[in-house]
Structure 1
Amino acid sequence: MKIIDIFNDAFKYTNKTFFGDLSNLFILFLYSLFIVPILGHMLKIMRGEDSAPDFDGTLKEIYYGMQIFQIGLAYSIIPLIIALKTIPPWQRTYGQTIDFSIPVITFIIISLLFGLLAIPGFVRYAKTQKWGDALRFWLTFDLIRRIGLIKYFCSMITLELILIFFMGMSLILILILPIIGLLIQCITTTYGLLFVGRLAYLISREET
């Protein structure tokens, strides 16, 4: 699939899921207030089913959401070690004094690269529920080889920017308009994470 086709598919799936069932949408809005449950639902979307996944209960959704945090933490270990070894303690302690020196820039670049490697790991875990599959980063290198380095990184960077945009916009709205912003946050977070979940699956399954 071309990149434009991947995004079109993700938009169609998200619109169908978002506007298809108002009762489910209300549950997703509630989940979005606490982030972890909606992340768990996003993980289930990464399985790649054509229809929206069923709700397994709040505790199960929270469990799935915690898996995303744990897998993300596992992929963050190497960047964190590099930060501890290269960035001076005073820069790690007082964020306002960071001057974007070479160690800081190196840490940011490596963190982004590991973030790009983590996304297919989430998809593999969503399908198999096995931690080992999530951490087999060499499978991601094989995916990159099959679909092409430029296509992979363009797709994944776009995905991360979309996620940052939705989450950042939600935070800004809450700070500016506490009550109305909270409602808009529910809408943007829910739509954004549904879209990102589908997009992550479509990119990770690509073979040509």
Structure 2
Amino acid sequence: MDFGKMVGDSFGYAKEGLVGKWAKWILMIISCIIFPLIMGYILRVYRGETPAPELKDWGSMFIDGIKLFIVGLIYAIPIIIIEIVVIGSAVVTGAMTQAYGNTDPSAILGMIGGVLFGVLILLIVSIIIGLVVATAVVRFARTNSFGEAFNFSAIFAHIGKIGFVSYLIALIIMMIILCIIEVICIMIPVVGMVILFILLPILVLFEARYLTLLYDSAGTAA
């Protein structure tokens, strides 16, 4: 898998779709605020539309966005449940520590260890779900079927065609690129968050195109 080519193609896709098309850029910024719109637009990218699709058929785009949101929400349920348990445990631990101080340090340490273990489980589950979702959302876009978005045997078979190691490396590269851009923007005093907000359409198109190319690489994977 040519990771450099995927990165270049994705940025080129975003550049061609937005640079010089300032009205479209502004509309995409607005769509990022009304999140179902941008999620519906992303589905069009997942379907392989080239070049980057125009913003039109707003009603259809909004409905598609709601569907994608539902898929994401269902996948997030295990993470939300674990988060609630971990946060609840942390609150109880904090309350016990404050109430009893050092009267029973072994019990307090045990509770703290339980919270840390919960955090570790949360991290592992989040990573696993993230790996699955990266393929599931594109599969949903291509089939327009909620059932296929949760067809785990087909999802893992598709990832297997790409190659689990290549798939993981590709996602790590994407996350590193996005994180670097976001951190650089945040570090700029005063206007950093504004710059990041303006760049959101570029980042959205880059990520959507990148995941599309990753999904389609199964057809050419060795």
Q: TM-score range by the shorter chain?
A: 0.7 to 0.9
Task: Give how far 1:35 is off.
Answer: 3.6
Aligned mates of 1:107, 1:121 — CA distance in 2: 20
Closer, same or farther: CA 195–137 of 1 in aligned 2, 3 Å: same
Cross-structure match for 1:78: 78
Cross-structure match for 2:16: 16
Aligned mates of 2:68, 2:177 — CA distance in 1: 18
Cross-structure match for 1:116: 131
Q: Which runs of 5+ in 2 are unaligned?
A: 98-111
Aligned mates of 1:166, 1:68 — CA distance in 2: 25
Task: Give how far 1:32 is off.
Answer: 2.6
Aligned mates of 2:56, 2:93 — CA distance in 1: 42
Correspondence 1:191 to 2:206: no
Deviation sequence 1:80-123 (CA, Å, 0-9, x none): 445566x472326899x987612211111111111110111111
106-115 or 51-60: which moved more?
A: 51-60
120-129 or 70-79: which moved more?
A: 70-79
Residues 39 and 69 in structure 2, CA contact (< 8 A), matched pair in contact too: no
Deviation sequence 1:146-188 (CA, Å, 0-9, x none): 1211111111233344455666777x489x63xx556423322
Closer, same or farther: CA 169–39 of 1 in aligned 2, 3 Å: farther
Aligned mates of 1:5, 1:122 — CA distance in 2: 22
Closer, same or farther: CA 206–163 of 1 in aligned 2, 3 Å: same
Residues 167 and 189 in structure 1, CA contact (< 8 A), matched pair in contact too: no
Residues 46 and 200 in structure 1, CA contact (< 8 A), matched pair in contact too: yes
Cross-structure match for 1:143: 158
Aligned mates of 1:48, 1:185 — CA distance in 2: 26
- Counting aligned pairs with the same residue, the percent is 26
Larger Rg: 2
Aligned mates of 1:62, 1:50 — CA distance in 2: 20
Closer, same or farther: CA 107–27 of 1 in aligned 2, 3 Å: same
Instruction: Report SS of the residue matched to 1:68.
Output: helix
Equivalent positions of 1:67-106 (< 5 A) are 67-82=67-82, 87=86, 89-91=88-90, 101-106=116-121
154-163 or 39-48: which moved more?
A: 154-163
Cross-structure match for 2:211: 200
Closer, same or farther: CA 186–80 of 1 in aligned 2, 3 Å: closer
Aligned mates of 1:93, 1:34 — CA distance in 2: 37
Residues 14 and 191 in structure 1, CA contact (< 8 A), matched pair in contact too: yes
Aligned mates of 1:46, 1:94 — CA distance in 2: 44
With structure 2 as the length reference, what TM-score do the two structures score?
0.75
Task: Give how far 1:198 is off.
Answer: 0.2
Task: Give how far 1:189 is off.
Answer: 0.9
Aligned mates of 1:64, 1:139 — CA distance in 2: 22
Aligned mates of 1:73, 1:197 — CA distance in 2: 18
Closer, same or farther: CA 153–93 of 1 in aligned 2, 3 Å: farther
Counterpart code for 2:90: Q
Cross-structure match for 2:38: 38
Aligned mates of 1:182, 1:57 — CA distance in 2: 30
Instruction: Report SS of the residue matched to 1:52.
Output: coil
Cross-structure match for 1:155: 170
Counterpart code for 1:126: A
With structure 1 as the length reference, what TM-score do the two structures score?
0.80
